[in-house]
């Protein structure tokens, strides 16, 4: 298999225990081998592959999918497992460590375990797709900000890397930057306040790139890949700065509640209101959309919500049994079950 070939299957973790232990302890030869292999497949990329000191790399504060761990925490996981004897699977030990460490926060626990598993994959394959960064110069110092690949960067830190192989690019154009941030919002399980804050930030970036123009409903719909009707709803919320402030403060936690508040007397605010600030990206340009032609029963993004709804919908339905061993933290498994529930209920509805 050449360097540019895709692996045909997932490697077996148990067969590389020695390499894994070396990687966890920060073996420089292993990381050097990793960097060399990345260099060998870089010819087809338009960016230059370089090795950057880890302490010169900064995580992107605009990334709504950023992980809730500091670099020091992640390095600490590796150090906590470094003293184990040779009979212990080192990655299993780290998984057990983070599972216990974040036992009271299931979301952080699942994110930590996923990051450890990613580090294991990097170590075993000795082949990590290049991490993409953008560079910025400040005075005499050059800093590098992650544009794509924060999880890969953190996984390599856990492996003990002191310098990181990455593709070095110039700062992306505004449209590319906006699209990347908008796609992150769609991919991640953000809370409503987090999503609103991220959308507001992207709207401001768009406005700055367009000489203070306002983002229309059509542009908002295209940017965030949502229907125009939904775009107008988000814009209605975003332009009401009193409602926006309450969302960010956690006083409003759902879109329905925000829409109920938006458009009332609180729009008379004068200090922050975009209606009185022509440079704000989200003022009164909401546009008009088409009438609905079908009913949409909504979207459920959190597994625990899906579990509650499924159980309430089915009750004691003898014709549908949910797998008792279903892992409710497995997004794909829950989605598959949810799809089957809807098909089951739709079949009953058509018989009525």
On whether both 181 and 312 belong to a single domain, the answer is no
What average pLDDT does this structure show over 239-264?
86
What average pLDDT does this structure show over 15-44?
40
On whether both 313 and 191 belong to a single domain, the answer is no
pTM of the model: 0.43
On whether both 24 and 167 belong to a single domain, the answer is yes
On whether both 157 and 22 belong to a single domain, the answer is yes
Is the pLDDT assigned to residue 192 strictly greater than 50? yes
Confidence of residue 166 (pLDDT cuts 50, 70, 90): confident
On whether both 159 and 20 belong to a single domain, the answer is yes
Q: What is the DSSP string of 103-157?
A: TT-HHHHHHHHHHHHHHHHHHHHT--PPEEEEEEEETTEEEEEEEE-HHHHHHHH
What average pLDDT does this structure show over 244-259?
88
What average pLDDT does this structure show over 29-36?
41
Which CATH number belongs to the domain containing residue 52 in this structure?
3.90.1530.30
Residue 6 lies in a domain: no
Which residues span the domain enclosing 310? 303-351
What average pLDDT does this structure show over 193-213?
81
Task: Tell whether the torsion through CA atoms of 193, 194, 199 and 204 is positive or negative.
Answer: positive
Is the pLDDT assigned to residue 228 strictly greater than 70? yes
Is the pLDDT assigned to residue 5 strictly greater than 60? no
Total structural domains within the chain: 3
Confidence of residue 29 (pLDDT cuts 50, 70, 90): very low
- 178 by Cβ neighbours in 10 Å (0-12 / 13-18 / 19+) ranks as buried
Query: Which segment, 17-26, 167-176, 223-232, is predicted with the most confidence on average?
Result: 223-232
Answer with the one of 171, 199, 232 that is the final residue of a domain: 171
Is the pLDDT assigned to residue 264 strictly greater than 70? no
What is the C-alpha to C-alpha distance for residues 267 and 269, in angstroms, rounded to an integer? Answer: 5
Q: List, for residues 289-313, the tens digit of each pLDDT value.
A: 444 455 555 566 677 777 778 777 7
Q: What pLDDT score does 290 carry?
A: 45
Contacts of 67 (CB under 8 A, 6+ apart): 111, 115, 150, 151, 154
On whether both 215 and 308 belong to a single domain, the answer is no
Q: List, for residues 78-90, the tens digit of each pLDDT value.
A: 887 766 555 457 7
What is the average pLDDT value for the chain, to the nearest integer?
A: 69
- Higher per-residue confidence, 273 vs 95: 95
Residue 247 lies in a domain: yes
Q: List, for residues 109-157, the tens digit of each pLDDT value.
A: 888 998 888 888 776 554 554 565 665 666 666 778 887 778 888 988 8
- Higher per-residue confidence, 52 vs 209: 52
On whether both 21 and 153 belong to a single domain, the answer is yes
On whether both 128 and 23 belong to a single domain, the answer is yes
Residue 39 lies in a domain: yes
CA distances to 69, 87, 104, 123 from 99, rounded to whole Å, are 14, 20, 9, 21
Q: What is the DSSP string of 234-253?
A: HHHHHH-HHHHHHHHTTS--
Is the pLDDT assigned to residue 324 strictly greater than 50? yes
On whether both 331 and 260 belong to a single domain, the answer is no
What average pLDDT does this structure show over 264-268?
40
Query: Which segment, 130-144, 227-241, 311-325, is predicted with the most confidence on average?
Result: 227-241
On whether both 255 and 320 belong to a single domain, the answer is no
Q: What pLDDT score does 243 carry?
A: 92
On whether both 240 and 133 belong to a single domain, the answer is no
């Amino acid at each position: 298999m050449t360097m540019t070939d895709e692996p045909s299957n997932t490697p077996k973790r148990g067969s590389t225990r020695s390499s894994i232990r070396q990687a966890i302890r920060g073996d420089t030869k292993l990381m050097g081998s990793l960097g060399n292999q990345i260099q060998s497949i870089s010819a087809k990329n338009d960016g230059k592959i370089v090795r950057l000191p880890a302490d010169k790399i900064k995580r992107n504060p605009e990334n709504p999918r950023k992980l809730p761990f500091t670099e020091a925490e992640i390095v600490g996981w590796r150090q906590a497992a470094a003293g184990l004897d040779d009979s212990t699977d080192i990655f299993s030990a780290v998984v057990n460590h983070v599972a216990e460490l974040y036992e009271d926060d299931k979301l952080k626990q699942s994110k930590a375990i996923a990051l450890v598993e990613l580090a294991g994959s990097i170590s075993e394959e000795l082949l990590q797709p290049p991490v993409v960064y953008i560079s910025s110069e400040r005075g005499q110092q050059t800093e590098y900000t992650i544009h794509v690949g924060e999880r890969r960067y953190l996984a390599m830190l856990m492996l003990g890397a002191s310098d990181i192989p990455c593709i070095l690019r110039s700062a992306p154009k505004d449209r590319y930057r906006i699209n990347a941030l908008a796609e992150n919002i769609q991919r991640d399980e953000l809370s409503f306040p987090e999503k609103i804050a991220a959308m507001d930030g992207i709207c401001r970036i768009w406005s700055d790139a367009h000489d203070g123009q306002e983002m229309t409903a059509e542009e908002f719909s295209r940017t965030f890949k949502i229907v125009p009707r939904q775009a107008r709803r988000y814009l209605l919320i975003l332009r009401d700065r009193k409602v926006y402030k309450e969302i960010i403060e956690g006083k409003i936690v759902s879109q329905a509640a925000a829409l109920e508040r938006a458009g009332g007397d609180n729009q008379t605010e004068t200090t922050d209101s975009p209606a009185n600030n022509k440079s704000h990206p989200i003022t009164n340009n909401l546009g008009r959309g088409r009438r609905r032609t079908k009913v949409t029963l909504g979207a459920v993004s959190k597994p625990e919500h899906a579990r509650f709804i499924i159980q309430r919908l089915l009750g004691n339905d003898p014709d549908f049994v949910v797998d008792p061993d279903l892992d409710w933290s497995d997004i794909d498994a829950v989605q598959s079950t949810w799809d089957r529930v809807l098909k089951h209920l739709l079949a009953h509805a058509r018989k009525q």
